[in-house]
């Protein structure tokens, strides 16, 4: 490992006291000298690299934007006020030259990742905040006599985001730490008929049609949410079951022969669950997603027609709205409220029992150990896994204002 690389790594240990916030790449920031700057990769910030090369990083600690992403606050304005008029002119020319170089070499990159002038949504901030719960602080003993121990943060996430139920495969333990099950009936004998996702320490999200389940003798209501398990019937030492104390069904939920709209509900839990790498809220979409592929997870019927006891996962393909509406010619598919995913060439689909569960994509902000939920399993054909025919999902982004207004109503 080169000396310069070692110095860069050292920077992210010695500069911990200078972290301004967990800022995203290309965010505006302030340097330690209170100069305006922008968050960039450390290797792309010449002033900081010059400091490292000169060996003065300890006395000129830069502001770190994100230790995880190894980005720093790179000044966009030099401290001209302390220079002579000659220095100012030279500095201006240098800055102009540097700006030209950046513009030419990184024009495409900057266009793809523009400065974020819009206010950050609370769901985006909470996503990043919850993601910190998978990091553990570890003390490392000194290697030299008389040296001081140091602390490092270690990512304890139990999975890596990989886009790998009918046609699916079993999920690995804690691969989807947001996944939950909705329990019905008596507290000591719960039956789990629907899926859900944890969206905050106090709220889970599911489908509105999961708020009533008809049995041979009666209509059952949701009573509790089960988290931290990939088994419908089995538990482990990480499993928690939390009572539901309040239910929020979307006001304009409609379900009839011609349409299903607003098929979304929030379940308030009796207490906040402890967040860690085993139980972690999902991130919500802060923009409209049109990903060509998404992952669906659930405990529904498998290819052999049996209800799955273990959590299953499957990767599906997006169908355009026009094609989806053409296939579902007996129902109205709303282009804003719904998403359509299935498979064009294989028997892959969500199925009975998956309702209320998530349609996921990789997290665009690279928040550790989580995904972004773009959809909720709503409805599909009775014959699951029909090739070339998509299931219909709630478009979560369309209901983001409603979700934020309930889940974080006291924090905005």
> In whole angstroms, what is the distance from residue 149 CA to residue 34 CA?
31
Minimum mean pLDDT among 178-187, 230-239, 297-306, 317-326: which range?
297-306
Model pLDDT, residue 137: 57
> In whole angstroms, what is the distance from residue 227 CA to residue 273 CA?
9
135 or 128, higher pLDDT: 128
Model pLDDT, residue 6: 44
Model pLDDT, residue 55: 66
φ, ψ of residue 258 in degrees (nearest 5): -100, -20
Residue owning tokens 């003798």: 217
Model pLDDT, residue 393: 96
Model pLDDT, residue 267: 98
> In whole angstroms, what is the distance from residue 194 CA to residue 192 CA?
6
DSSP state of 3: H
Longest dimension (CA), the chain: 89
Average pLDDT over the chain reads 79
**Is 0.95 topped by the overall pTM?**
no
Tell me which residue of 382, 384, 360 sits closest to 372, measured CA to CA.
Answer: 360
Taking CA atoms, 95 is separated from 46, 110, 200, 342, in Å, by 11, 18, 45, 52
96 or 157, higher pLDDT: 157
> In whole angstroms, what is the distance from residue 326 CA to residue 303 CA?
26
The DSSP element (H or E) to which 294 belongs, if any, is strand 293-298
Model pLDDT, residue 25: 82
pLDDT at residue 353 greater than cutoff 70: no
* pLDDT band at residue 356 under the 50/70/90 scheme: very high
> In whole angstroms, what is the distance from residue 228 CA to residue 237 CA?
9
Model pLDDT, residue 344: 93
For 274-304, what is each residue's pLDDT tens digit?
A: 998 899 999 999 999 989 999 999 887 666 5
Q: Is 269 exposed, middle or buried (0-12, 13-18, 19+ CB in 10 A)?
A: buried
For 112-130, what is each residue's pLDDT tens digit?
A: 444 445 678 999 988 888 8
* pLDDT band at residue 340 under the 50/70/90 scheme: very high
pLDDT at residue 318 greater than cutoff 60: yes
pLDDT at residue 389 greater than cutoff 90: yes
pLDDT at residue 14 greater than cutoff 60: no
Q: Is 321 exposed, middle or buried (0-12, 13-18, 19+ CB in 10 A)?
A: middle
Domain boundaries, the chain: 3-112, 169-407
Which residues lie closer than 8 Å to 245 by C-beta, 6 or more apart? 268, 269, 270
Q: In the numeric block, which tokens belong to residue 397?
A: 């982004």
pLDDT at residue 385 greater than cutoff 80: yes
182 or 148, higher pLDDT: 182
20 or 184, higher pLDDT: 184
pLDDT at residue 5 greater than cutoff 80: no
Percentage of the residues of the chain whose pLDDT score is greater than 90: 39
> In whole angstroms, what is the distance from residue 162 CA to residue 362 CA?
8
Which residues lie closer than 8 Å to 178 by C-beta, 6 or more apart? 197, 198, 199, 280, 281, 282, 358, 370, 371, 373
> In whole angstroms, what is the distance from residue 399 CA to residue 248 CA?
13
Fold assignment, 169-407: Thrombin, subunit H (2.40.10)
Q: In the numeric block, which tokens belong to residue 231?
A: 């088994």
Query: Which residues are known to be catalytic?
Result: 209, 263, 355
For 194-226, what is each residue's pLDDT tens digit?
A: 999 999 999 999 999 999 988 777 889 999 999
Residue 184 and residue 247 in contact, taking contact as beta carbons nearer than 8 Å: no
For 33-66, what is each residue's pLDDT tens digit?
A: 778 888 888 888 888 887 777 666 555 677 888 8
pLDDT at residue 140 greater than cutoff 90: no
φ, ψ of residue 398 in degrees (nearest 5): -65, -20
The DSSP element (H or E) to which 406 belongs, if any, is helix 400-407
Helical axes 3-14 vs 46-54, angle rounded to 10°: 110
């Amino acid at each position: 490992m080169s000396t310069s690389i070692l110095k860069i790594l050292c920077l992210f240990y010695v500069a911990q006291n200078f972290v301004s916030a967990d800022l995203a790449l290309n965010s505006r920031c302030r340097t330690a000298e209170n100069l305006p700057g922008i968050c960039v990769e450390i290797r792309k910030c010449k002033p900081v690299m010059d400091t490292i090369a000169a060996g003065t990083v300890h006395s000129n600690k830069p502001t770190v934007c994100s230790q995880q992403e190894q980005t720093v606050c790179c000044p966009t304005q030099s401290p001209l006020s302390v220079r002579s008029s000659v220095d100012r002119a030279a500095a201006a020319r240098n800055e102009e030259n540097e700006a030209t170089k950046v513009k030419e070499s990184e024009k495409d990159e900057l266009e793809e990742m523009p400065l974020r002038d819009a206010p950050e949504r609370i769901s985006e901030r909470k996503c990043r905040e919850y993601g910190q719960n998978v990091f553990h602080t570890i003390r490392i003993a000194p290697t030299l006599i008389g040296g001081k121990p140091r602390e490092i943060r270690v990512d304890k996430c139990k999975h890596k985001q990989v886009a790998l139920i009918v046609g699916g495969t079993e999920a690995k333990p804690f691969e989807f730490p947001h996944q939950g099950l909705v329990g019905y009936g008596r507290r000591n004998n719960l039956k789990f008929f629907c899926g859900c996702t944890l969206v905050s320490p106090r709220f889970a999200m599911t489908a509105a049609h999961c708020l009533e389940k008809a049995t041979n003798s009666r209509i059952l209501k949701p009573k509790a949410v089960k988290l931290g398990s990939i088994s419908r019937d089995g538990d482990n030492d990480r499993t928690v079951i939390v009572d539901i104390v309040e239910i929020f069904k979307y006001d304009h939920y409609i379900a009839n022969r011609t349409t299903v709209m607003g098929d979304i509900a929030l379940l308030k839990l009796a207490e906040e669950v402890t967040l860690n790498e085993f139980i972690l809220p999902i991130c919500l979409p802060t923009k409209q997603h049109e990903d060509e592929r998404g992952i669906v997870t659930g405990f529904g019927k498998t290819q052999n027609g049996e209800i799955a006891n273990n959590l299953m996962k499957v990767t599906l393909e997006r169908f355009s709205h026009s094609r989806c509406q053409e296939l579902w010619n007996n129902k109205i598919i709303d282009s804003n409220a719904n998403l359509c995913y299935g498979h064009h060439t294989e028997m892959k689909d969500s199925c009975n029992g998956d309702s209320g569960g998530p349609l996921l994509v990789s997290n665009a902000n690279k928040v550790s150990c989580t995904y972004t939920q773009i959809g909720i399993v709503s409805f599909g054909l009775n014959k699951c896994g029909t090739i070339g025919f998509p299931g219909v999902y709630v478009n979560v982004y369309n209901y983001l204002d409603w979700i934020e207004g309930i889940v974080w109503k006291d924090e905005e």
